[in-house]
Structure 1
Amino acid sequence: MSSDASTRPLFSIVTVVLDDREGLRRTRASLRRQSCRDFAWIVVDGGSEDGTRDDIVRLGPEIAWWRSGPDRGLYDAMNIGKAAATGDYLLFLNAGDELASPDSLERLAAEIRRNSSPDFLYCDALERTLGGTLLLKPARSHRTVWYGMFTHHQAMIYRRLAVADLSYDLSFTVGADYAFTIAALSGNSRVIRVREPLCVFAAGGLSHAMHPIGRRDQTRIRRRYLRLSVISCFLIMVVQSLAMLTRRGFPVFYEIYRCRRMYE
């Protein structure tokens, strides 16, 4: 893949997958529907044994770069994909995640042109619950990053050169994307909020399955990157834990407070 400005893609879309053949197929179908074709798809497979690798091989020219083999987990695979990327902007769309509409990349490209190539863009997200309900989850302001991720990682777009010196810290089992985003924001002031959904997030991911570990990771990150006090970190963790309990025990209240129901 050439890195010449005249030939490199606008977007490098990095997909990490492990034993999720159906999820990879959904992500592929979403990319095939895009009206904007100015992207290169990068697939990092952690050594799947369910036929995923065979599908990757068959996709051939649809994938600009791929690798299949053991790695050290999700964030290591994301670092591998980031290193292989040559596009102007990075979007991490993992297996099972989809873009919100066929013109999602086209609209995003228009925002990039309109705002003279910002360093960081973030959007709203659609979230599909385990019960199949589709919710619109508006992003919070990036200035609330002290509280946590203000939108899904799949709804964040990084200018590749602006984060060239950053990598996902593997010491954080669940929160490396949070640390990466804080570092990206601290080094770049040209941030754009896009008020429309970019992705359909597949529920039941790492952050949900390993919620307690994620909270501990976030506390370490706040202490290290934001220099928040122990008391502040504790209070934030309490509020987040209550929010998660509400989401799991009273999902209707969560939908009313944080989301809007969508109809397909």
Structure 2
Amino acid sequence: MKLLNVFVAHSNVQQLLASLWYEGLPGFRRKNMVLQALEIVRIGMLFPFFSIAYILAPHSVVGQTMRKPFIKFICHSASYFTFLFMLILASQRQYLEKVFGESTATEDDDLEYTKRGAKPSLVEWIILSYVSGLIWSEIKQLWDVGLEEYARDMWNVIDFITNSLYVATVALRVVSYYQVQNRPGAAIESRNIWDDWDPMLISEGLFSAANIFRCVRKLYNFPMFGRSKAFLR
């Protein structure tokens, strides 16, 4: 490992890595910090377009752009921060309508999101799509490297636990929804008289725990911000 670090730290290797890292962004390193920041923001805001293009036409010019290391890193980071932002919005349910400007939230609106068996909001549907993608990514990784190699990386184990918590959250929300369908009066019961093991309460607790794991997971990516470590992985 020490020899590998010496090899990567060599000036010629660093020059090669730099050219590969910034591939697809000619002249990026010659720009000042302000222009570089604007370029990063521009790419980050276009990540939905790049992602859709890569899914629909991976061999197209735009699809191949997503394969460039630095652009891929920016899009992945922008997507992940968007996911974290959605999690923050979901945890502040009473302010969702104000944020999206649909209407002015009242006390009754606030209570609507906390009722037993409440239907998922728009933000929760977006979170569900993100979680589905994360689960699919973990399945692909597990298939490629095998169970033994997958389990050696503790972060993979944490990802598995986090995704399991999200799946359990969805399952419990479904159980709560069907409880209300079978007993409509349960939807208007005060939360103060709910059972301690009510599916809705447990799902909220699991969702909070999963959010903590997901935020901690992002901290692992910050030390990876460097072309040498990113290429080594």
TM-score where L is the length of structure 1: 0.28
**Structure with the higher fraction of residues in helix conformation:** 2
**Structure with the higher fraction of residues in strand conformation:** 1
Tell me which structure has the larger Cα radius of gyration: 2
TM-score where L is the length of structure 2: 0.31
